Structure 1
Amino acid sequence: MSSTGTATPKGPFRLVTVNTAPERAKRLIGRMVEDLKDRYTIEYVANCETLEQVEPTVRELRPDVLFCASMWTAEQSSKVFELARSIVPGIKTHAIPHGLQVERGPDAVVEHLNEQVPRLLDGE
Structure 2
Amino acid sequence: MASTTPKGPFKLVTVNTAPERASRLIGRMVEALKDKYTIIHAANCETIDEVAPKVTEIQPDVLFCASMWTAEQAEQIQSIARSIRPNIKTHVIPHGLQVEKGPDAIVEYLLENVPQLLDSA
How big is the alpha-carbon RMSD for the aligned residues of Structure 1 and Structure 2?
1.0
Structure 1 residue 51 corresponds to structure 2 residue 62: no
Count of aligned pairs between the two proteins? 121
Q: Which residue of structure 1 aligns with residue 33 of structure 2?
A: 36
Q: Taking every aligned residue pair, what percent have the same amino acid on both sides?
A: 69
Residue 87 of structure 2 aligns to a residue in which SS?
coil
Q: Give 4+ residue runs of structure 1 displaced > 4 Å after superposition.
A: none
Residue 97 of structure 1 aligns to a residue in which SS?
coil
Instruction: State TM-score, norm by structure 1.
Output: 0.95
Matched letter for residue 37 of structure 1: K
Where structure 1 has 5 or more consecutive residues not aligned to the other structure, the ranges are none
Where structure 2 has 5 or more consecutive residues not aligned to the other structure, the ranges are none
Instruction: State TM-score, norm by structure 2.
Output: 0.97
Q: Which residue of structure 2 aligns with residue 72 of structure 1?
A: 69
- 2:17 is aligned, of 8, 15, 20, to 20
Q: Which residue of structure 2 aligns with residue 109 of structure 1?
A: 106
Q: Which residue of structure 2 aligns with residue 118 of structure 1?
A: 115
* 1:49 Cα deviation after fit: 0.4
